[in-house]
């Protein structure tokens, strides 16, 4: 069993609440390092980033870059910089200017590998990196500048695009070293206009600590919390002396971290909370050489390209619950077999996985399984009653029952590996999606005992026994991660985490109690390098928080248009969805009109995977799904917008 699951059984009272991460982006870097210590996190940005209003400084800087010669260095200090600079001057103009500058002997330096990775791939060989701004200034002053020597006649030039509120230390250090420094504000960071959903939980002490990485983050916290400001007993961990000084100016005594590196920040948080190191949670894994993602058989997959944010020539399409009762061959194959038994029969599960690929020509298969399967494999008495749904024989009614939950043994996953292996062997160039239920949804069945949309017992456990509830979600996260990892290691090339019931929660409860457990699964499986899709019904209010749990692709339900989803997610997340299942019985003309609307809306996102806004209804005519696949594939080129 995974370290996540084992940790859940170590007691329901000692585990600290999650740590709140509030920066506008890139929180996953801190979260991944905190994972290595076994520390849960909630990601809820208190800041937002926007492109600078005045494009003139950016145009001036890029003009100087295009006309420069040896003795000029372009310095990029944030992964945000390149995209905003491109928005101000045009991506093509920026690339032409950099190409001309490099040809004339200019250099490009970046702080950190993440910043370097944000630049176009074609520049990778020309980029020099330093871990911090201080190290970059030292390198330019002591190594680069003397190396120019007689090659330059005038004053050496540093071009430094960045934030409107950039710290002055780097340009000051470069100027002191003998450089002429030209800065250009290309983006700004400010507090969110609306009060963050995590504000009330923070004010009431529901987070064990908060990590802040900039003075603007400190100010955003001050603005969001109001007069009360800082909750007593909640440490503020400040990355670097400038941020710590900003906290002290507002009367807070922060825990100062010596440097901004995520590993150092995580270690400081762990020391502050008194958490012993848990190395296993942070260990990266490698897919076996025979895995389809490594052999090249999936190189042309439109689905996987879209998952990674690259628009393929053909828009990919698949359907949730595409292997189901709508298919006559499914009904024939399942005859005489219960739902859970069919999931645990490798030959049958493989056959049911493959049926919709053969019939429809969809761009991905999804492993035929059920969210209750990991519970059955762990030894719990669970069944799926026709017309009812999942039924738990001994539902959790007391916190003490959580400590008695069993371990999911690795041997129990053998039929899952066998079924995946059989399916992958026949799928060839079509990728397989691994499948699991999200911790909250599975836990709600464990507590309620059967389906109940209002989840009264689950909510009571969550609010009256938060430590016990957190332990339950960690246990479910552990077995879900083991279940997904078994599928991926056996051949699945992407995963989808389904959270059917999280949409019934208010955003604050989701952030405090649910997102940390979902993140354990998504970030855990992310160490295998496969794309991660996250989907929940009635999840419009939670869309950003669900993405921030660690998703590469967000499934969009019927309560939100793709246009609005793309706006909420900042235009930087791949979307999946969201054909209305109710229109599968509409007239062909009405359905086609709806499909074209979905395709047009999805064209604004980095990439789009067509799917339903929920699972395929059991009475769906298979010919309707076949028509959708044909229309999407033939309409793809008009929706790609030239990407």
* Residues 455 and 578 occupy one common structural domain: yes
Q: What's the domain count of the chain? A: 3
502 plus 604 within the same structural domain: yes
Q: What share of the chain is helix, strand, coil (3-state, %, to 5)?
A: 50, 15, 35
Whether 457 and 447 have beta carbons less than 8 Å apart is answered as: yes
Domain assignment of residue 6, yes or no: no
Q: Which of 188, 209, 244 is the last residue of a domain?
A: 188
| Closest C-alpha to 495, from 574, 545, 552, 426 | 552
Q: Are residues 71 and 199 in the same domain?
A: no
608 contacts 562 by C-beta, under 8 angstroms: yes
For residue 72, give the 3-state DSSP assignment: strand
Is residue 283 one of the residues assigned to a domain? no
- My answer on whether 549 and 509 are in the same domain is yes
Residues 230 and 173 in one domain: no
CATH of the domain at 28: 3.40.50.10090
Per-residue model confidence (pLDDT) at position 642? 38
pLDDT of residue 605: 95
> Nearest-5° angle of CA 223, CA 226, CA 231?
105
> DSSP for 441-454?
HHHHHHHHSS--TT
The answer to whether residue 284 is domain-embedded is: no
Looking at the domain assignment, is residue 64 inside a domain? yes
Q: Give yes or no: residues 297 and 264 share one domain.
A: no
Measured CA to CA in angstroms, residue 406 lies from 15, 187, 278, 376, 426 at distances of 19, 51, 21, 11, 35
Cβ proximity of 72 and 157 under 8 Å: yes
What is the C-alpha to C-alpha distance for residues 378 and 414, in angstroms, rounded to an integer?
13
**Residue 10 domain flag:** no
Do 256 and 107 reside in the same domain of the chain? no
Q: What pLDDT does residue 70 have?
A: 80
The pLDDT tens digits for 493-518 are 999 999 999 999 999 999 999 999 99
550 in any annotated domain: yes
Residues assigned a catalytic role: 321, 325, 334, 370, 445
Largest CA distance in the chain: 86
pTM of the model: 0.87
CA distance 339 to 383: 8
Q: Give all strands of the β-sheet with 47-51 in edge-to-edge order.
A: 47-51, 180-191, 157-163, 72-76, 107-111, 127-130
Residues 111 and 137 in one domain: yes
d(CA 284, CA 518): 18
CB 65 within 8 A of CB 98: yes
Closest to 4 in 3D by CA, of 505, 536, 485 = 485
Residue 478 phi/psi, 5-degree rounding, is -65, -45
**Contact predicate 478/6, CB 8 Å:** yes
pLDDT of residue 9: 41
Residues 20 and 34: their CA atoms lie apart, in Å, by 11
**Distance in angstroms (rounded) separating the CA atoms of residues 45 and 47:** 5
Helix (H, G, I), strand (E, B) or coil at 71: coil
Cα 573–chain centre separation? 9
Last residue within a domain, chosen from 170, 188, 206: 188
Mean pLDDT by 10 residues, the chain (643 residues): 48 73 90 92 94 96 90 92 95 93 93 87 91 91 84 81 88 94 94 94 95 92 86 93 90 90 92 75 73 95 96 96 94 94 98 98 98 97 91 92 95 98 98 98 96 90 93 97 98 97 94 97 95 96 97 96 95 96 96 97 95 95 97 70 39
End-to-end alpha carbon distance in the chain = 43
Q: What is the pLDDT of residue 312?
A: 94
Q: Among 188, 208, 242, give the residue marking a domain's end.
A: 188
Co-location of 400 and 515 in the same domain: yes
- Decide if 280 is inside a domain: no
Question: CA nearest 71: which of 177, 193, 156?
Answer: 156
Domain that holds residue 94: 50-188
What's the pLDDT tens digit per position in 151-188? 666 788 999 999 988 878 899 999 999 999 999 999 99
Q: What is the pLDDT of residue 387?
A: 85
Please choose, from the candidates 545, 541, 542, 540, the residue with its C-alpha nearest in 3D space to the C-alpha of residue 577: 540
Say what the pLDDT of residue 640 is.
Answer: 42
Phi, psi of 76 (to 5 degrees): -120, 120
Q: Are 492 and 434 in contact (CB under 8 A)?
A: yes
pLDDT (0 to 100) of residue 637: 45
Cα 429–Cα 431–Cα 435 angle in degrees, nearest 5: 165
183 with 196, same domain: the answer is no
One domain, residues 179 and 199 = no
Is 373 in contact with 343 (CB distance < 8 Å)? yes
Count of other CB atoms within 10 angstroms of residue 467 = 16
Q: Quick check: is 387 in a domain?
A: yes
Residues 595, 601: Cα–Cα separation, whole Å = 10
Query: What number of CA atoms fall less than 13 Å from residue 141's CA on the CB side?
Result: 16
| Partner residues linked to 73 by β-bridges | 107, 158
CA atoms of 547 and 542, how far apart (whole Å): 9
Same domain, 481 and 590: yes
CATH of the domain at 418: 3.20.20.210
Alpha helices in 207-307 (DSSP H): 215-225, 241-249, 262-273, 292-295, 302-307
CA nearest neighbour of 165 among 192, 183, 140, 179: 183
């Amino acid at each position: 069993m995974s370290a996540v699951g084992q940790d859940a059984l170590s007691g329901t009272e000692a585990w600290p609440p999650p740590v709140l991460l509030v920066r506008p982006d890139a929180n996953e870097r801190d979260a991944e390092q905190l994972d290595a210590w076994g520390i849960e996190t909630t990601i809820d940005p208190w800041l937002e980033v926007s492109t600078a209003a005045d494009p003139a400084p950016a145009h001036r800087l890029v003009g100087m870059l295009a006309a420069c010669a040896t003795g000029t260095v372009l310095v990029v200090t944030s992964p945000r910089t390149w995209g905003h600079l491109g928005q101000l001057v045009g991506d093509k103009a920026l690339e032409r200017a950099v190409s001309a500058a490099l040809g004339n002997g200019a250099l490009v330096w970046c702080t950190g590998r993440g910043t370097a990775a944000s630049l176009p791939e074609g520049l990778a060989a020309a980029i020099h990196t330093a871990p911090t701004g201080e190290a970059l200034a030292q390198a330019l002053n002591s190594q680069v500048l003397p190396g120019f020597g007689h090659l330059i006649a005038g004053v050496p030039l540093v071009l430094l695009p960045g934030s409107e509120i950039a710290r002055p230390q780097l340009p000051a250090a470069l100027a002191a070293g003998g450089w002429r420094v030209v800065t250009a504000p290309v983006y700004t960071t400010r507090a969110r206009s609306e009060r963050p959903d995590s504000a009330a939980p923070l004010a009431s002490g529901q987070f064990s600590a908060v990590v802040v990485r900039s003075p603007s983050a400190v100010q955003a916290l001050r603005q969001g919390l109001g007069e009360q400001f800082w909750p007593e007993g909640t440490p503020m961990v400040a990355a670097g002396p400038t941020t710590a000084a900003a906290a002290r100016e507002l009367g807070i005594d922060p825990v100062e971290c010596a440097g901004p590196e995520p590993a150092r920040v995580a270690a400081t948080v762990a020391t502050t909370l008194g958490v012993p190191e848990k190395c296993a949670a942070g260990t990266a894994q490698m897919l076996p050489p025979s895995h389809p993602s490594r052999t090249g058989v999936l190189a042309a997959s439109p689905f996987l390209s879209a998952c990674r944010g690259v628009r393929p020539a053909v828009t990919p399409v698949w359907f949730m619950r595409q292997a189901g009762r709508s298919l006559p061959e499914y009904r024939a194959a399942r005859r005489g077999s219960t739902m859970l038994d069919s999931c645990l029969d490798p030959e049958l599960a493989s056959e049911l996985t493959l049926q919709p690929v053969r019939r429809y020509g969809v761009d991905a298969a999804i492993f035929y399984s059920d969210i209750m399967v990991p519970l059955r494999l762990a030894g719990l008495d669970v069944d799926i009653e026709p017309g009812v749904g999942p039924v738990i024989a001994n539902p959790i009614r007391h916190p003490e029952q959580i400590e008695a939950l069993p371990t999911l043994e690795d041997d129990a996953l053998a039929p899952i590996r066998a079924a995946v292996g059989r399916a992958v062997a026949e799928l060839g160039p079509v990728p397989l999606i691994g499948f699991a239920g999200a911790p909250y949804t599975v836990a709600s069945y464990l507590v309620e005992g059967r389906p109940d949309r209002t989840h009264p017992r689950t909510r009571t456990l969550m609010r009256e026994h938060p430590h016990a509830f957190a332990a339950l979600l960690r246990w479910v996260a552990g077995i879900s991660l083991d279940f997904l990892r078994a599928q991926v290691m056996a051949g699945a090339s992407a995963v989808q985490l389904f959270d059917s019931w999280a949409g019934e929660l208010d955003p604050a409860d989701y952030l405090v109690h649910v997102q940390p457990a979902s993140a354990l699964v998504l970030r855990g499986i992310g160490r295998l390098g496969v794309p991660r899709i996250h989907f929940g019904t009635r999840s419009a209010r939670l869309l950003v928080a669900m993405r921030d749990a660690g998703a590469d692709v967000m499934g969009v339900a019927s309560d939100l248009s793709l246009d609005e989803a793309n706006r909420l997610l900042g235009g930087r997340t791949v979307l999946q969805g969201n054909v209305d299942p109710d229109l599968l019985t509409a007239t062909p003309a009405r359905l086609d009109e709806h499909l074209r609307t979905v395709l047009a809306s999805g064209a604004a996102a980095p990439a789009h995977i067509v799917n339903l806004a929920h699972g395929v209804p059991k009475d769906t005519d298979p010919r309707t799904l076949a028509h959708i696949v044909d229309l999407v594939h033939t309409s793809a080129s008009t929706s790609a917008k030239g990407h």
